[in-house]
Amino acid sequence: MKEYVIDANNMDEKELNRTIKEQAVFHDKLIIDNPDSRHNICAGLTEDVSIEINGSVGYFVGTMVNEPKIHIKGNAGWFAGDNMTEGELIIEGTAGDGAGQGIYGGTVIVKGSTGSRTGEIMKGGTVIIGGNSGFMTGLLMMGGRLIILGDVTDDVGESIMRGTIYVLGDVKSLGKNAAMEKATLDDQKELKEILTEYGFEIADEDYVNFKKIVTIQ
């Protein structure tokens, strides 16, 4: 595997992203040191490349990407993975509002908690949150699968049109057009497969506790 290390220290956002795109053509893996919470890292990246970011990042990490696998060993700001079409974004820490906003495909994973409007207007793909999520989670959701392992606050699934939200913890309230039911055995099997794949450890007997939130028929 061809690796390349990028030291982001003293680089502005434009220089950093230009370097990422140039080196992604020639390498299988890029390692980014000293990201220092810069915004828009990996924006618009379309190479099938592995990106390891050693530290926290700012807004719009992985926005509008197609194919890369991005692993952040820290926290992220608002709108992580915004409008991803294909690929993978894993955040080891927490993320701000709008994680997974508008994604068409791929997978966005936040191991910790997120702010509000997680999975807002997502059209496809999968978003997994290992902790809690804030208000209007799944706002205007049009497709895909949103999985929350912790609690969710107010107005979950507000104006949801399609797609499914699964919550293992407590749901404070549902939004307009949202209905809650129990996860089926098929749902539980599907959840176990993907959660096990990404290293989430949940006891077999707990899968029955998942709530399933969908649009009112």
In a domain, 41, yes or no: yes
- pTM of the predicted protein model: 0.97
Spatial distance between the Cα atoms of 78 and 138, rounded to a whole number of angstroms: 15
pLDDT tens digits for 59-89?
999 999 999 999 999 999 999 999 999 999 9
In a domain, 207, yes or no: yes
Q: What is the CATH number of the domain that holds 79?
A: 2.160.20.60
Per the structure, the complete domain to which residue 168 belongs is given by 37-215
In a domain, 19, yes or no: no
* 12 confidence band (pLDDT: 50, 70, 90): very high
pLDDT tens digits for 141-156?
999 999 999 999 999 9
For residue 12, give the 3-state DSSP assignment: coil
Would you say 108 and 125 are in contact if contact means Cβ atoms under 8 Å apart?
Answer: yes
Annotate 26-95 with DSSP letters as a single string. T-SEEEEE--TT-SSTTTT--S--EEEEES---TTTTTT-EEEEEEESS-B-TTTTTT--EEEEEESS-B
